[in-house]
Amino acid sequence: MSEHIPDEGVAFQDYTPKLLHCNATTRVFAESGGRCLAFGQDIVSCDVFLNPVSYGYFFFERGTRTERLNLAGGFEAWHELILRGQALATEFNVDPSSYGVQIHRVAPHSDHFTGYLVRVARIESDIREIHKKAQTDQRIYRITGGREYLLDPTKESDL
């Protein structure tokens, strides 16, 4: 079989996608992006392990929303949120795993997302305590199986 060789004068657009260096942080971003595409959203904790948060509770930190980004070019904004969460944890002397970065798909069948800094906990009583100390009016959400649900703030438990 012979390869197809284009005629002279045919112009090809040189497309070189922006590639990330393969390291622990960029792999976590790629995995988080995949979960975001599959499930509509994903949360990664801001601790040293950058673990995915597939169950538990969270609420949004004020003023931490990123602009609409695509997965191909969103690493820098995502990483800035990770660093901001780690800095806030250090500043307030709390566990960095109580901060996380959520990426939320903008629309179905889209590779665009918005990033948020969130407070996370695996146990409902822990997130309520964090929420109370933060003195915020943000709603608390439960996440289970990659999906999020709003908790009723008047009830002690929705489980």
pLDDT digits (tens, 9 = 90+) for 88-142: 999 999 999 999 999 988 888 788 898 999 999 999 999 999 999 999 989 999 9
Please report the pLDDT score of residue 140 as a whole number: 93
Pairing mode, if any, of strands 69-70 and 141-144?
unpaired
pLDDT digits (tens, 9 = 90+) for 31-40: 999 998 888 8
- Nearest alpha-carbon partner for 145 in 59, 31, 54, 35: 54
pLDDT digits (tens, 9 = 90+) for 45-82: 999 999 999 889 999 998 888 878 887 788 999 999 99
Torsional class of 53: left (φ above 0), alpha (ψ -120 to 50), beta (otherwise): beta
Report yes or no: 45 and 55 within 8 Å, Cβ to Cβ. Answer: no
Please report the pLDDT score of residue 108 as a whole number: 80
